[in-house]
Amino acid sequence: MNSRALADERRVTDLIVLNDPLGYRIEVFHGAEVTTDPFVPGRNISGFRTGPLGLGHVVLHVERVEEMMAFYQTMLGFRLSDYYHKPFEAYFFHLNPRHHSLAFVRSGKNAVHHLMMELFMLDDVGQGYDIAQSQEGRIATTLGRHTSDFLTSFYTYTPSNFLVEYGWGARSIDVDNWVAKERPEGPSLWGHDRVWLPDEVRENARKLRMQLAQQGYRRPVQVIEGGTESG
């Protein structure tokens, strides 16, 4: 399919298609068509927090982190938010006030790790968690809270066997004054027991969370506009 036909299919003015160093396909576009029709969800939810923050975020398994970091930072303008090495190695990048729109997990393979979608209300996440728990084998990561973007979330398996993170309460960062740093505390304050991790790594992740609890590690809750209104 040529670029003009693809742009028409995507309902954008124009686009270019390229591959990153590990072969992930990237489409760069401008002039997206918008609709005046309101979003109609598949079940009764408050809606997704998107707009200028984008869809949410994408996390990729990668074999060669250094090549990917160089490409996305120098070619596409992503900025490093932070990173950690335990219980596994991961790097997080931002383009706007969302703490991260892209992240890489060094796992020795190339594949989609997960997509994150953020809800306006915490109860949407809890009700989704009830639905996921009702289906055997659907929960990939239990309910928990991240140390990076403060998101309260859980992860489910999709039919294609990558994960979807369903969450609420992500913080916004000050892009102009943000300083990237290592996060030795690991990925989560509490919860987020990752059933997909090898047993030893899973246990190390639990130990990190228990250490944070013993230290009294806390982070403020991020209540966004409209997040205190009842439905």
Neighbours of 2 (CB within 10 A): 7
Question: Where do the H-state alpha helices sit in 3-161?
Answer: 3-10, 65-74, 122-133
| Cα torsion angle, 58, 15, 175, 124, sign | negative
For the chain, the domains span 46-215
Please state, in angstroms and rounded to a whole number, the distance separating the CA atoms of residues 138 and 49: 24
**Type of residue numbered 32:** A
The yes-or-no verdict on residue 26 having pLDDT over 90 is yes
Residue 132, pLDDT score: 96
Please check the confidence at residue 69 and state whether its pLDDT lies above 70: yes
Phi, psi of 44 (to 5 degrees): -75, 100
- Does an H or E element contain 50, and which? none
Q: How far is Cα 119 from Cα 224, in angstroms, rounded to an integer? A: 10
Select from 230, 96, 112, 72 the least CA-distant residue to 170: 96
Task: Provide the pLDDT for residue 229.
Answer: 59
**Residue 9's CB: how many other CB atoms inside 10 A?**
10
Q: Which of helix, strand or coil describes residue 41? A: coil
Q: What pLDDT digit, counting tens, does each position of 153-210 carry?
A: 999 999 998 999 999 999 999 999 999 999 999 999 999 999 999 999 999 999 999 9
Cα–Cα distance for residue pair 143/128, rounded to 1 Å: 11
Yes or no: say if 160 and 111 are a contact pair by the CB < 8 Å rule. Answer: no
Residue 201: its H or E element: helix 199-215
28-59 per-position pLDDT tens digit? 999 999 888 988 999 999 999 998 999 999 99
Give tens-digit pLDDT for 84-133: 998 989 999 999 999 999 999 999 999 999 999 999 999 999 999 999 99
SS3 69: helix
pLDDT of residue 2: 73
Q: What's the pLDDT at 224?
A: 76
Looking at the DSSP bridge assignments, the partners of residue 58 are: 102, 115
Average confidence score pLDDT of the chain: 93
CATH placement of domain 46-215: 3.10.180.10
**pLDDT above 70 for 231:** no
